[in-house]
Amino acid sequence: MAVVENLRAAGSLSSLLSLKVLALASVLLAGLGLTWLVVDYARMLRLHRKMPPGPIPWPIVGSTFSLPKLKPWYYFEALSKQFDSPVITFWIGRSPTVWINDAKSASEILEKKAAIYSSRPRMVVFAELTEMHQSADPNSKLPGNNLVTMFYGERWRVHRKITHQGVGLQQVRNYRGFQNDESRLVAYDILHDPANFVAYYERYATSVVSIIGFNRRVSSIDNPIITEVIAVMQKAAELNVPGKEFPMLFETFPALSHLPRSWFPWFFKGMSRRRRGQDFFYTLAEEAHKKDPTQTCYANSLFKEQEKYNLGKPDISSLAGNLFGAGSDTSSSTLVTFTLACCAFPEVLPKAWEELDRIVGHHRSPSWEDEAELSYIKAFVKEVFRWRSVAIIGGQPHAPVSDDEWNGYSIPKGTWTQGNVWAIHHNERDFPDPDRFNPERFMKDGRDARPFPNEKGYMTFGWGRRVCSGQGLAEQGTFMTIARMLWAFNIQKALDSQGKEIPVDIFSYSDGLNWRPHPFPCRFTPRSPEIVDAIEREGRQALQDLSMYEGESEAITAFFKRNK
């Protein structure tokens, strides 16, 4: 009996000791956690004092939960004014991000120091969780395979070189012929079916890059390639806008990205289209190459360089996909914005018509050869790029490859550094009354013209070594199409059943990185019978010229059947 009681006492003592050990371990862990929290927050505050001004961050979460749900570029513009600094620091979790809100500072940091700000920061959502890995080291277990997200290095230079073979500034001049023909068809299609103007813009932009990439045009607005490309690009654009909700909370708490994906089914289910897009673009490139490897097109260039540069399937897919990213969704969105501007600001149209009538006349449409003489049309196009830039926060963020300094403030290596194009293009100093569409801003000796840090007068396509690869293609095609649409039509607000104009909202835009106006109705009225005849004649000729690029894609038909 005594033995049993002794065992019971020993057991109780052991349990008591275990509880004490657990309690002590819990206290130690809590103490270590608190110590880590204090040390880490001290690090944040110390760094905060050295960096450009901005809201004081909270421990761990930074200032993330101060973000608005939508369109944070307005918020960063307001913070810049609040702190009286064109460059501000905003903390996403435990990491600082730098936001540049005026043209002068963007030029000083991202253009004049292009060699420093040539890399990318870590992007958990846009790169890691979408399997667009960022390593520039070809020997890495996660080799970089996308120019857009890749850290700066030799592998990035390879991708950039290959991209220039497709859409470099010198190369795009060779595309003027079919780009002009596709532009003629925009006017032709809208003449016959004005209600579907957005679809015709999308078809035009997608078809141009499809010819460049795969020697096959997109002839119908019902082609599923259009909806797939636009959807993939819009999905990508949604994944890089700072936010306080999922999926962007992965940026605030990167450790969450290591948890089982089954815990976040709503996010990864939505990512299926992004991953499907990678297969889609490879399928397009592979089919074009197999059809005729001797043809001159971007897909054949990719496979030609495959062995030399060790291009795997992900590389070819991303390079082909970036071609669409450089010239489809962005170009069509710019044309929709142009149409909205015409409806909202009809007073700018008569001067455009006067110049076009004087230089071009009514018996043919304008072409690239007229560009040098069409000074007001060129200013009009620049104002479209400025007024509602598609890449509203300047595309993907930059990151310095080494510690840097601006105006006495520190910007550490790897810091997420973003140009807020909205704020840059709506700075009252550079662009008085910035929400008014006013091409006179870009006219030589114009009353509203102001000095600007670069020759173009806008920063729509980004900066430095990370400038948009498709800039030349977009500028060339946008000029052609806007000049032709202004020549062809009086673009006006739609009328209601009582014959009254339906107002348009110049602030009604989508929420993603590549924004475009929400749907709105409008009228396209041909400016003269002679112009109608010219549109018809040139449209028929364009169809004949482009017939060499016609053809069905069996691989793509099969792809969509598999992925219904």
Residue 143 banded pLDDT, cuts 50, 70, 90: very low
Q: Is the pLDDT of residue 281 over 70?
A: yes
- Residue 521 lies inside a defined structural domain of this protein: yes
448-454 mean pLDDT: 94
Give the residue from 245, 272, 204, 270 showing the smallest Cα distance to 67: 245
pLDDT in tens, 400-419: 999 999 999 999 999 999 99
**The CATH number of the domain where 487 resides is what?**
1.10.630.10
Mean pLDDT of all residues in 495-513: 95
CA 481 to CA 488: how far, in whole Å?
Answer: 10
Q: Dump the DSSP string for 222-288.
A: T-HHHHHHHHHHHHHHHTTS--SSTTTHHHH-GGGGGS-GGG-HHHHHHTHHHHHHHHHHHHHHHHH
- Kindly tell me if the per-residue pLDDT of 300 is higher than 80: yes
Angle 471-488/313-327 helices, nearest 10 degrees? 30
Q: Phi first, then psi: give them for residue 170, nearest 5 degrees.
A: -75, -35
**In this predicted model, which residue has the larger pLDDT, 564 or 318?**
318
Question: What's the mean per-residue pLDDT of the chain?
Answer: 91
**pLDDT surpassing 80 at residue 179:** yes
Q: Return all residues near 475 (Cβ < 8 A) that are at least 6 apart.
A: 381
Q: Which residue has the higher pLDDT, 264 or 506?
A: 506
Position 160 scores a pLDDT of 95
Find residue 417's DSSP bridge partners: 98, 398
Q: Please give the share of the chain, as a percent, with pLDDT higher than 90.
A: 73
Distance of CA 153 to the CA centre of its chain: 22
Is residue 289 predicted with pLDDT exceeding 90? Answer: yes
d(CA 339, CA 273): 30
Q: Is residue 498 part of a domain?
A: yes
Q: For residue 432, what pLDDT is reported? A: 96
Helices 224-238 + 313-327 axis angle, to 10: 90
Residue 313 has pLDDT above 70, yes or no: yes
Asked if residue 375 is part of any domain, the answer here is: yes
pLDDT at 512: 84
In a domain? residue 113: no
For residue 137, what are the CA distances in angstroms to 151, 155, 396, 454?
Answer: 9, 7, 20, 34
In a domain, 20, yes or no: no
The tens digit of pLDDT for each residue in 23-52 reads: 878 888 888 989 999 999 999 999 999 999
Instruction: Tell me: pLDDT of 141 over 70.
Output: no
| Domain carrying residue 204 | 154-389+470-562
pLDDT tens-digit series, residues 109-136: 999 999 999 999 999 988 888 766 555 4
- For residue 465, with 0-12 CB atoms within 10 Å meaning exposed, 13-18 middle and 19 or more buried, which class applies? middle
Cα angle value 292/556/218 (rounded, 5°) = 80
CA distances from 293 to 29, 299, 342, 510 (A): 64, 9, 44, 40
Smallest CA-to-CA distance from 230 within 203, 268, 269, 197 is with: 203
- Distance CA(142)–CA(128), nearest Å, equals 10
Would the annotation count 342 as a binding residue?
no
pLDDT of the residue at 88: 98
Is pLDDT larger for residue 471 or for residue 564? 471
Whose CA is closest to 150, among 191, 113, 119?
119
For residues 102 and 425, what is the distance between their CA atoms, to the nearest angstrom?
8
Q: Tell me the backbone φ, ψ of residue 222, rounded to 5 degrees.
A: -90, 0
**pLDDT for the residue 139:** 44
pTM above 0.75, yes or no: yes
Give Cα separations from 466 to 90, 119, 204, 251 (angstroms).
22, 8, 26, 22
- Please give the backbone phi and psi of residue 420, each rounded to the nearest 5 degrees, phi first: -85, 90
Query: What percentage of residues in the chain have a pLDDT greater than 70?
Result: 92
Alpha carbons 213 and 412: distance in angstroms, whole number: 39
Establish if 202 belongs to a structural domain: yes
Q: What is the pLDDT of residue 7?
A: 46
Can you give the pLDDT at residue 240? Answer: 78
CA distances from 425 to 76, 383, 488, 559 (A): 14, 10, 29, 41
Query: Positive or negative, the Cα torsion across 209, 464, 306, 304?
Result: positive
pLDDT value for 229 = 82
pLDDT of residue 261: 78
- Asked which of 17-21, 187-191, 336-340 is least confident by mean pLDDT, the reply is 17-21
User: Pick from 396, 341, 338, 342: which is nearest to 514 by CA?
Assistant: 396
- Distance, CA of 155 to CA of 137 (rounded, Å): 7
Q: How many domains does the chain have?
A: 1
Which residues, 6+ apart, have CB-to-CB distance to 122 below 8 Å? Answer: 128, 134, 254, 414
In a domain, 493, yes or no: yes
Residue 37 lies in a domain: no
Q: Taking the mean position of all CA atoms in its chain, how far away is CA 283?
A: 23
* Angle at alpha carbon of residue 180, lines to 213 and 523, rounded to 5°: 110
Cβ 246 vs Cβ 253: under 8 Å = no
pLDDT for 245 equals 86
